[in-house]
Amino acid sequence: MTFKDLIGLDELAVLGCLLSDTEAITEAMTAGLCAEDFSTLALRWIFNAVQEIYNCGSMAAVGDVVDILRKRGQLESADGEKYIKSIPGFACKKKDLGYFIWYVKGCPPTENENFTSISDKEFEQAVLGCLLSDTEAITEAMTLGLCAEDFSVPALRLIFNAVQEIYDSGYLAAVGDVVDILRKRGQLESAGGEESINSIPGFAGVKTNLDYYIRTLKECPPV
């Protein structure tokens, strides 16, 4: 699966962020995001409504977007009020917005200084954070075939191996258990130390985007 197969999730992640964070719209506009970057007419219309509200100096609340689309006669063509109100649930984390915009626009961050993609380590921490924060995330990750070799950072490979061992034993991988396993293996310091491991859940990505995160990690890693 290529990033083109995942583009709808990219676009929802970006729009969700624009509808959830007061600073996100400014960042998106500075990065040159425009309606033509979206692959479907419905999402282009939603973005146009967001942009119109931004240009008026206001925060693009979902209700305002719905009202504009209704006045334009585009609400049903934009998949309806219920769908639009669900979009904030797909939001990427604010710190990841530059990375998602990169995918939506289809150009590497190095070609435009306004793009700020996250590093491999941060992206991998987002995945591990999900695995250590949500009871269903590990099962989803294993179903998608996530493995230690998908991680580019050696310390994170060690942590994932510990998570996988706990999962294979039929338990939820709590951070404390991961620390204990790494300590017993003599790998705790090589994995970054207890304090660093305890911080990983704080990097967790948005659970609804976990499938996207894992597929990107496995097949379309950041460059």
Task: Verify that 189 and 151 share a domain, yes or no.
Answer: yes
Residue 65, SS3 per DSSP: helix
Query: Is the pLDDT confidence value at 71 over 90?
Result: yes
220 contacts 14 by C-beta, under 8 angstroms: no
Separation of alpha carbons 12 and 86, rounded Å: 10
Task: Verify that 178 and 81 share a domain, yes or no.
Answer: no
Q: What is the pLDDT of residue 114?
A: 43
When mean pLDDT is compared across 5-14, 93-102, 104-113, 127-136, the lowest value belongs to: 104-113
When mean pLDDT is compared across 11-20, 44-53, 118-127, 177-186, the lowest value belongs to: 118-127
DSSP H or E run through 141: helix 137-143
Query: Is the pLDDT confidence value at 5 over 50?
Result: no
Model confidence at 143, pLDDT cuts 50, 70, 90, reads: confident
Task: Verify that 128 and 105 share a domain, yes or no.
Answer: no
Q: What is the pLDDT of residue 208?
A: 65
Task: Verify that 8 and 107 share a domain, yes or no.
Answer: yes
Q: What is the pLDDT of residue 172?
A: 80
Model confidence at 1, pLDDT cuts 50, 70, 90, reads: very low
Model confidence at 164, pLDDT cuts 50, 70, 90, reads: very high
Residue that finishes a domain, picked among 59, 86, 111? 111
Task: Work out the burial of residue 35: count CB atoms within 10 Å of its CB; fewer than 13 is exposed, 13-18 middle, 19 or more buried.
Answer: middle
Q: What is the pLDDT of residue 68?
A: 95
For the chain, helix, strand, coil in percent to 5 are 65, 0, 35
Task: Verify that 93 and 169 share a domain, yes or no.
Answer: no
Name the nearest CA neighbour of 223 among 125, 51, 108. Answer: 108
Query: Is the pLDDT confidence value at 117 over 50?
Result: no
What domain range is 170 assigned to?
A: 120-219
Overall domain count for the chain = 2
